[in-house]
Amino acid sequence: MNDTLEVILRKTTGSSEARRLRRSGMVPAILYGHGEPCVGLAAKREAVEAAVRHGSRVVELKGAVKTSALIREMQWDTFGVEPLHVDFVRVSASDRIRVKVPVDLKGECPGQRAGGIVNLVLHEIEVECKADHVPEKVHAPVGHLEVGHVIKVRDLELGDGVQAVADADETVVTCMIPGKKAAEETAAPVEPEIIGRKAGAEEGEEAGGE
């Protein structure tokens, strides 16, 4: 179920009004989309923060307006703690929208038991789905992830009607033995040394020819 936000109309706009609202515990917002006029709104900070904690992307607005809305963008303070402004876009249940949702690991990784380190490379992914089917999270199943293997976008559990916007071959999770990559990089310069010796030999031959 989507979070519900009680909103009020903003009588005026501008930085001074925005500061006044924030001091009173409100977050300034704007609502637009569906060819309708933009509306200046404000919502209680606690309610906005709760919606963020719940991972809500689509919320139900009530009070000054009554509509489903996508949280398109949210501005935060310098420390990323307090929401400063919210952009809402009107949506209906049948609208297909694109949103970014977090990726989490699902299951126990056998490669980790074998000494591998699991690395979540892609922490969030953009998906396309109906407004009323936005997943809170996308699961990366690591129950069969062995050392040296990876999970790609195509392996994610997206749910019915949800499509990934990212490349299907993009890596999401890896499982590697610590230090293995560093060892491979240390061994890599061997080939350039051979090439260097060959170049030196050729220079010697050219000098002798002169």
Instruction: Please tell me whether residues 70 and 19 are part of one structural domain.
Output: yes
103 touches 158 (CB < 8 A):
no
Of the candidates 150, 118, 113, 155, the one whose C-alpha atom is nearest the C-alpha of residue 138 is: 155
Which domain CATH number covers 127? 2.170.120.20
pLDDT class of 203 with cuts at 50, 70, 90: very low
Q: Is residue 186 part of a domain?
A: no
45 touches 52 (CB < 8 A):
no
Query: What pLDDT does residue 9 have?
Result: 95
Which domain covers residue 165, as residue numbers? Answer: 98-178
Q: Is residue 204 part of a domain?
A: no
Query: What pLDDT does residue 187 have?
Result: 45
The dihedral sign for the CA sequence 161, 163, 168, 173: negative
Q: Is residue 208 part of a domain?
A: no
Instruction: Please tell me whether residues 74 and 128 are part of one structural domain.
Output: no
Q: Which of 91, 116, 131 is the last residue of a domain?
A: 91
Instruction: Please tell me whether residues 123 and 146 are part of one structural domain.
Output: yes
180 or 58, greater pLDDT: 58
In this prediction, residues 142-152 reach a mean pLDDT of 96
Q: Please tell me the pTM assigned to this model.
A: 0.68
Structure tokens at 23: 């001091």
Instruction: Please tell me whether residues 16 and 72 are part of one structural domain.
Output: yes
Instruction: Give the total number of structural domains in the chain.
Output: 2
Mean pLDDT value across the chain:
86
Q: Is residue 146 part of a domain?
A: yes
Question: Per residue in 163-194, pLDDT tens?
Answer: 999 999 999 999 999 876 534 443 445 444 44
| Distance (Å, whole) CA 31 – CA 54 | 21
